[in-house]
Structure 1
């Protein structure tokens, strides 16, 4: 199967469906619609004309960048699509992030080794602690 990547914002429906199918948390269509409009950079991977993967960067575009929503439909996993997504997202960061910018991500599903390939380090207590607050 031929895959290709487009630099574009996915539709809210595509975004929610791919996230859920890939095992990420549910986002409402309302939240997705708002969030997708406010991202810094987004990509969608297609198999023929069907979206099968997504990835985004959010942040303020200067001091802080966060890699989010790396998700590929289960039937298309283990085919290099995550690598395709991350390579383009990291290229965007290296092209646009000024010196001293902080780039972060939360690695789900035991994937820290995957992200280490792109220069990310695991934050370990007591020096650092990753934290979150989920609004339900």
Structure 2
């Protein structure tokens, strides 16, 4: 198994410690989801904002600089070719409609997971 390059590991760690407001808010909602999600996961030569290894679900948050981004299209295609499901949300959507974003993520996790009840605690 190929080891993760040290520079990607350190970049992922730096991104975790310097999360955007949208990433921080979403993580507060996602960190209790089962199966477990993680932040800033290195997959090949990409760092995913959030990911569920069990479901092969990648969750990406995008700011305005990503509008029509060619590299994002290439990244999504790369991940999908390897069996990942990729969800993309605008930062604005996370900040203005966190409930809708979390519901979309939970619905995707429940379709992709063998976990008996993927949900947030207290939501059944």
TM-score range, shorter chain: 0.3 to 0.5
> Which fold has the larger relative contact order, with Cα–Cα distance below 8 Å and residues 6 or more apart in sequence?
2
Structure-1-length-normalised TM-score: 0.36
Could you say which structure has the higher strand fraction?
A: 1
Quick check: which one's helix share is greater? 2
Q: Give the alignment's TM-score, normalised by structure 2.
A: 0.38
